[in-house]
């Protein structure tokens, strides 16, 4: 079989690690399943920003896309072809010269003859427009419609996201393909004692783990108020949170969240770790009594799959993407009902012990290789659709 050279745009950064985590998991799944069938060419549009190390070590090549120097002939040609003819000539010619057969993620070259596989992570702005400014909602509408129009295929992470795409851009619904990610969990993880990480951060042995970024729609406050309810019943639940403490849409949100925490009187029950190494995330999942995701909306919900792949019970907001994943022993709650969450959290707190769940971990370890093989196959089937 002829090798396919795929040009993959780097997505994600330190403020939004999910993009990097997504690509890292995909590349590893492809290398496990198709070690000889493709060449990975990482595309970067920023000379000043290095490619994340975990992605760079999996790439066959790293290529910085050309940016013509201002007022040169190449710059003039680039400007004219983009503005007048709506054609990204410079990038298209460059990629063809590099031997790239398909471009995935990132920016789609305008009117390129190269097949393109774009992804849309979610339609949060459609379901929760209050989380965005009116200008950003309009901007996302325009950008998403342009993607739907020019991309050869559009990857969605779940069937619920596919339904959103079909409703949003029915004219281009036939381009949609669902490729749901499956987390990479190294077997060496299970050889380590998770308490080595809890001791590092001076955490209690028994806690609930919430590994979401501090974005407003992630709904941390619902968990804080559920803890307040349980405290009133004499039940002191410890909560550990990790994730980037910033939301570009709501710059004061983290400060407001901390104020809410203090007003609930539970500041001594909650630990904030910020952004932590990925292996620490998995170890904290193993030590916790459960992983909780209270999000109001997700296009997929990566932490849900991580909990499933590690082998830990999840307490999840009852939203379509979470229901679709439905990991073993999952418990669902109404995300805007703190009483409902408190009742279900109380039950798990009393029933579960901290530390690894041997039964769920065994199930996860046995099923993960096949799940990751199917993940790689579903992505490559999309690639072959546009290349063959």
Query: Could you give the CA distance from residue 109 to residue 107 in angstroms, rounded to a whole number?
Result: 6
Query: Could you give the CA distance from residue 210 to residue 226 in angstroms, rounded to a whole number?
Result: 13
Q: Any bridge partners for residue 44, and if so which?
A: 64
Lowest-pLDDT choice from 123-127, 145-149, 276-280, 341-345: 145-149
What are the extents of the domains in the chain?
Answer: 4-183+370-387, 187-365
Q: What is the pLDDT of residue 278?
A: 94
Comparing 4-183+370-387 with 187-365, is the CATH topology the same?
yes
Which of the pair, 360 or 74, is modelled with greater confidence? 360
Average of per-residue pLDDT across 314-322? 98
> Does the pLDDT at position 100 exceed 80?
yes
Query: Could you give the CA distance from residue 308 to residue 328 in angstroms, rounded to a whole number?
Result: 7
Q: What is the pLDDT of residue 99?
A: 87
Lowest-pLDDT choice from 77-86, 160-169, 275-284: 77-86
Distances (CA, A) of 232 to 228, 235, 237, 266, 378: 6, 7, 11, 11, 49
Which token pair is 363? 């199930």
> Does the pLDDT at position 222 exceed 70?
yes
Residues 115 and 386: beta-carbon distance below 8 Å: yes
- Binning pLDDT at 50, 70 and 90, where does residue 109 land? low
Query: Could you give the CA distance from residue 117 to residue 9 in angstroms, rounded to a whole number?
Result: 11
Half-sphere exposure at residue 332, Cβ-oriented, CA atoms within 13 angstroms: 13
* CATH class of the 4-183+370-387 domain in this structure: alpha beta
Q: What is the pLDDT of residue 364?
A: 98
> Does the pLDDT at position 128 exceed 70?
yes
- Strand 208-210 relative to strand 239-241: parallel, antiparallel, unpaired? parallel
Q: In the 8-state DSSP scheme, what is residue 64?
A: E
Lowest-pLDDT choice from 78-82, 93-97, 333-337: 78-82
Q: What is the pLDDT of residue 48?
A: 61
Query: Could you give the CA distance from residue 297 to residue 336 in angstroms, rounded to a whole number?
Result: 12
CATH number for the domain running over 187-365? 3.40.50.2000
- Binning pLDDT at 50, 70 and 90, where does residue 316 land? very high
- Binning pLDDT at 50, 70 and 90, where does residue 84 land? low
Q: What is the pLDDT of residue 81?
A: 61
Distances (CA, A) of 353 to 48, 195, 269, 270, 313: 47, 14, 18, 19, 11
Which of the pair, 288 or 96, is modelled with greater confidence? 288
Most confidently predicted of 34-48, 74-88, 189-203: 189-203
Which H/E stretch holds residue 309? helix 302-310
Residues 341 and 210: beta-carbon distance below 8 Å: no
> Does the pLDDT at position 90 exceed 80?
no
Q: Tell me the pLDDT tens digit for each residue of 27-67.
A: 999 999 998 888 999 988 766 667 888 899 999 999 887 77
> Does the pLDDT at position 333 exceed 60?
yes
Q: What is the pLDDT of residue 46?
A: 66
Which H/E stretch holds residue 317? strand 314-317
How many percent of the chain have pLDDT more than 70?
91
> Does the pLDDT at position 13 exceed 80?
no
Q: What is the pLDDT of residue 263?
A: 94
Q: Beginning with the edge strand found earlier in the chain, give each strand of the sheet holding 102-104 in spatial order.
A: 61-64, 38-44, 4-9, 102-104, 116-119, 153-156, 176-178
> Does the pLDDT at position 192 exceed 90?
yes
pTM for the full predicted model? 0.92
Across the chain, what does the average pLDDT equal? 91
Which of the pair, 204 or 44, is modelled with greater confidence? 204
> Does the pLDDT at position 110 exceed 70?
no
Residues 155 and 245: beta-carbon distance below 8 Å: no
Query: Could you give the CA distance from residue 86 to residue 84 in angstroms, rounded to a whole number?
Result: 6
> Does the pLDDT at position 181 exceed 90?
yes
Which of the pair, 68 or 285, is modelled with greater confidence? 285
């Amino acid at each position: 079989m002829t090798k396919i050279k795929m040009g993959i745009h780097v997505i994600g950064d330190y403020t939004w690690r999910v993009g990097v985590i997504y690509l890292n998991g995909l590349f590893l799944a492809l290398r496990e399943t198709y070690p000889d069938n493709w060449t990975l060419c990482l595309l970067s549009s920023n000379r000043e920003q290095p490619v994340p190390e975990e992605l760079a070590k999996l790439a066959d090549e790293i290529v910085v896309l050309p940016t013509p120097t201002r007022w040169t002939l190449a710059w003039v040609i680039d400007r004219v072809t983009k503005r007048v003819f709506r054609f990204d000539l410079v990038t298209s010619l460059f990629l063809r010269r590099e031997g790239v057969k398909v471009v995935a993620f990132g920016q789609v070259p305008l009117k390129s003859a190269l097949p393109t596989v774009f992804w849309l992570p979610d339609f949060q702005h459609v379901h929760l427009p209050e989380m965005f400014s009116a200008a950003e909602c309009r901007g996302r509408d325009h950008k998403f419609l342009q993607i739907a129009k020019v991309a050869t295929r559009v990857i969605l992470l779940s069937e619920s996201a596919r339904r959103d795409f079909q409703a949003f851009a029915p004219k281009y619904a036939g381009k949609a393909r669902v490729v749901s990610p499956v987390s990479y969990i190294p077997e060496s993880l299970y050889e380590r004692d998770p308490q080595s990480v809890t001791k590092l951060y001076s955490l209690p042995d028994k806690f609930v783990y919430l590994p979401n970024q501090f974005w407003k729609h992630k709904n941390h406050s619902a968990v804080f108020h559920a803890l307040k309810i349980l405290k009133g019943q004499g039940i002191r639940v410890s909560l550990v949170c990790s994730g980037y403490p910033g939301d570009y849409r709501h710059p004061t949100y983290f400060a407001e969240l901390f104020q809410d925490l203090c007003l609930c009187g539970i500041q001594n029950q909650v630990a904030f770790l910020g952004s932590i190494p990925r292996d620490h995330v998995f170890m904290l999942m193993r030590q916790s009594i459960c992983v909780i995701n209270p999000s109001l909306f997700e296009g997929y919900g990566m932490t849900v799959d991580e909990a499933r792949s590690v082998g830990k019970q999840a307490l999840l907001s009852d939203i379509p993407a979470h229901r679709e994943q439905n990991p073993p022993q999952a418990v669902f709650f109404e995300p805007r009902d703190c009483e409902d969450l408190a009742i279900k959290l109380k039950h798990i707190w009393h029933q579960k012990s901290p530390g690894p769940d041997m039964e769920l971990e065994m199930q996860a370890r046995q099923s993960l290789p096949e799940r990751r093989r199917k993940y790689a196959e579903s992505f490559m089937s999309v690639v072959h659709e546009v290349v063959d």
